Amino acid sequence: MILDFVTNNVASIVSNSFLLICGLHHTLINFTRHQIYSQSLANNFIAETSPTFLNWPFLMLRSCCSISKRSKREEQYHIRNSDCGKYSWDKEKPNPAEYCFVNLYGEIAIKSDGHITGEQFTVEKCKECCILLLDYLATVNVDDCEECLIVTGPCRGSVFIRDCKNITVFTISQQFRSRDCINIDVFLFCTTKPIIESSKLMRFRSLTLSYDKVEEHMMKASLSPFINNWNNVHDFTPDDVPNFEICITEYDNIKKMDMIRNVKNITFFPELSFLPLYAVPNKITGKKILILCMERDGETLTSFNGRILKFLKEILAQGAELITTRDMTIRKKELEPSFMCKKYAKLSGRLITLEIAWNREEIEKSIRMISDIVEVVDDCDFEHHRATLYRFAQMQTDIC
């Protein structure tokens, strides 16, 4: 009896549930048919909806299970922000306070290798200071300084001096600019033409400088030691009296030099300088000679630069005067339209030109002792070769 009662009740419950589901199903179909205007769309909707609706209990159970599993998986593999490691491409933002000297008085302030590393640096409102930035830099701004001596390492951008007076600057840069300055001594190595504006009593000299890792810093700043326009100054605001002067390199009358002599591993002596000393063009009396220095096959840039700089030091120590240098890269047959001589028309690779004032016999003797990949241009070809190669080098510099 009990078994029959249970069986009948269960059957009744299942039957009623089935009827309820069917009723809801038919209600949904009728509602959908009245809501959709197109009979074809209604049929498609019913065909797609009916199986899904009939299986709704199973779908709800499956959805709940998947959510539960997914939440557990997320908890298992979730990484909190605090646990995230640093990646190789992550770079901490520089602290501006680490890249400036401001409001100093009577101090020796130094930034050595690894303390600037290609960042922008500012020197502002300093007085009677000796400031040394012995690292490679992006740009340097010097504002409102007086009676200071400032030395910068290679700067791949511009060195901009504004509203300064009675200061001395030793700098290696891609560009040099001054504005509203008075009585400035500039010892300069500059890839492009220096620019002055609203400035007076500006004196430019060839820079000789050496300190630890200066050669490495030149490479990091992408500066060649053979592209130097230190004396090709352009004045945006010329007067009847020249605002600048090209002077011989000497240090006897430079203020604050006594402060810098106590600093280790830095020197300005030409014979110890990494950079060659250039002569003042209008004071040269010797015969001008053009020397072509070619790169050897497979020679590294460091080796090539070192070989030519060593050669320059040796001939300058013997009495030669360096007028100007150029650095260029020549592709095959690129010079054929400009040179009738096949020997020069076939030049390719990296080429450095040295314009020297000295005795030709002494130059040729020194070249034979050092290298067979250094050649002296004949006197009759000097003007043509000089003009052609300098124009070619200038085009490459302007493009860069």
- Give the pLDDT of residue 16: 56
Q: DSSP states of 324-366 as a string?
A: EEEEEEE-TTTTTTT-SSHHHHT--EEEEEEEEES-HHHHHHH
Q: Which residues of the chain have pLDDT under 50?
A: 1-3, 5-6, 10, 14, 24, 36-38, 41-42, 45-47, 49-54, 56-59, 61, 64-65, 67-69, 73-74, 77-83
Domains in the chain and their CATH numbers?
A: 98-267 (2.160.20.70), 279-398 (3.30.70.141)
> In the numeric block, which tokens belong to residue 126?
């300093």
**Which residues, other chains included, contact 350 with Cβ-Cβ below 8 Å and sequence gap of 6+?**
294, 295, 301, 304, 327, 328, 329, 330
Q: Where are the alpha helices (DSSP H) in the chain?
A: 2-35, 39-54, 56-77, 214-220, 257-260, 301-317, 342-345, 360-370, 382-399
Q: What is the pLDDT of residue 254?
A: 82
Q: Is the dihedral of CA 104, 135, 397, 193 positive or negative?
A: positive
Q: Is 55 exposed, middle or buried (0-12, 13-18, 19+ CB in 10 A)?
A: exposed
Question: Which contacts (CB < 8 Å, 24+ apart) does range 111-119 have?
Answer: 111/135, 113/212, 113/213, 113/217, 116/153, 118/156, 118/220, 118/221, 119/94
Residues 369-399: pLDDT tens digits?
Answer: 665 567 888 888 888 888 888 888 888 777 6
- One-letter amino acid identity for 297? D
pLDDT of residue 379: 86
pTM metric for this prediction: 0.74
- Contact criterion met (CB below 8 Å) for 50 and 32: no
Name which of 148, 214, 142 is nearest 179 in CA terms: 142
